[in-house]
Amino acid sequence: MAVPIRVDPGRLPPKEFTSAEQAAAHVGAGCLQDGPIGRVGLEIEAHCYDLADPMRRPGWDELSAAIATVPPLPGGSRITVEPGGAVELSGPPFDGPMAAIGALLADRAVLRAAFAREGLGLVLLGTDPLRPTQRVNPGQRYQAMEQFFTASGSSEPGAAMMTSTASVQVNLDAGPRDGWADRVRLAHALGPMMIAITANSPVLGGQFTGWSSTRQRVWGQLDSARCGPILGVDGDDPASDWARYAMRAPVMLVNSPDAVPVTNWVPFADWADGRAVLGGRRPTEADLDYHLTTLFPPVRPRRWLEIRYLDSVSDALWPAAVFTLTTLLDDPDAAEIAAQATESVATAWDRAAQAGLADRHLHAAALTCVQAAAERAPAELEESMRHLVRSVEQGRCPADDFADRAVQHGIAAAVSQLAKGEL
């Protein structure tokens, strides 16, 4: 009698896709998770400066040593380092915005104190206003990304995106399946108005750019197939829209096993269909899942909604901005108000990034939306919310405040003041 051969499933070669249609089905099936709303996860990036010499960019070993001195964070955030040395805190999901905000504020305080003891300051601005672009994170992924951007003719904005930008990211539940289309449409429609409210990057590399959110401008200079909004013509099926977007986007890196840049334009669909061969094979699920991490739309489905369009703004302001965005999406009455208020500016991405609240249509939308959020804000958020409402009423975004400081004191002195916590 023959003895059956037992095969360890873990040793089987990964299954390759046989078509772009099969790969697209994989994307669409897993991009949004059906369920209730209410959980909020926050991430915030801060540029790191030497308190004694703001022109010097701290190196990888120095950053790693500083992070090693940080005691356990009370809010449970994870600390990572961006390609240019910006330090990111990524918090776990919490029930409701206030718990998430409180946890991240607590973690920010601990991190700032630890870095200050090492002579380093953390500055919340959408772009690095002072130093030239330079990568300090030695990770293979970032080396390969540099090569990809150079080969695609976008080395300058690619380097700026990787090493000189910082944001506040808000992660929210996708919600019930029957509400996905409206929820994803609204998350996009809020983008220009929220960019105008939080625009905080008028200077890049020592130069005023003429844009309130130079961070958004930098992202707009990269290819729209990777960084543009995902919605289709009507936005009625965001899962299909995301799958279509992912198939059309060019492959940036192939892990074989190291990250190898793809220096010619190969849509993922061509790799899955066999019209192009990368790494000597067709893609696997692992390749596709990795490909999705190299796509950077303003709203990215990752089972939840990853909202990526806010500039990094001060601790005095970002709690109110986060609460506003979350309320406008999660509170049904506020969402209805926001949908109507932003209808005329829902696609004004560039106008918002350049003019901020100086644009009267964006200003009107912001006034309505911020007031709706303020009426729902709890007492513990009163100070931050008052700050945001006052700024919006005056038609000023954080970029205006930094520009005033830079003109009065000089860009380097303005950065030093922020790095030292001087308001």
Q: Is residue 11 part of a domain?
A: no
Burial annotation 312-346 (CB, 10 A radius, 16+ → b, else e): bbbbebbbbbbbbbbbbbbbeebbebbbebbeebb
Long-range contacts of 77-83 (CB under 8 A, 24+ apart): 77/103, 77/104, 77/107, 79/111, 81/136, 81/137, 82/45, 82/137, 82/162, 82/163, 82/166, 83/135, 83/136, 83/137, 83/139, 83/142, 83/145, 83/162, 83/163
Q: Is residue 158 part of a domain?
A: yes
Task: Give me 129's structure tokens.
Answer: 């206003």
For the cut 90, the answer to whether the pLDDT of residue 12 exceeds it is no
For the cut 70, the answer to whether the pLDDT of residue 9 exceeds it is no
The CATH number for 106's domain is 3.30.590.20
Q: Is residue 19 part of a domain?
A: no
For the cut 50, the answer to whether the pLDDT of residue 3 exceeds it is no
What confidence tier does 258 reach under pLDDT thresholds 50, 70, 90? confident
E strand or H helix at 311:
strand 304-311
Q: Is residue 299 part of a domain?
A: no
3-class secondary structure, 306: strand
Task: Give me 357's structure tokens.
Answer: 């609240």
Q: Is residue 64 part of a domain?
A: yes
Q: Is residue 297 part of a domain?
A: no
Give the pLDDT mean for 387-396.
98
Give the pLDDT mean for 64-83.
98
Q: Is residue 22 part of a domain?
A: no
For the cut 50, the answer to whether the pLDDT of residue 246 exceeds it is yes
Determine if the pTM surpasses 0.85: yes
The residue to which tokens 């830079």 are assigned: 406
The pLDDT value given to residue 233: 65
3-class secondary structure, 29: helix
Total count of domains within the chain: 1
Domain hosting 113: range is 41-173+193-224+312-420
Q: Is residue 26 part of a domain?
A: no
Query: 207-216, 253-262, 289-298, 340-349: which has the minimum mean pLDDT?
Result: 253-262
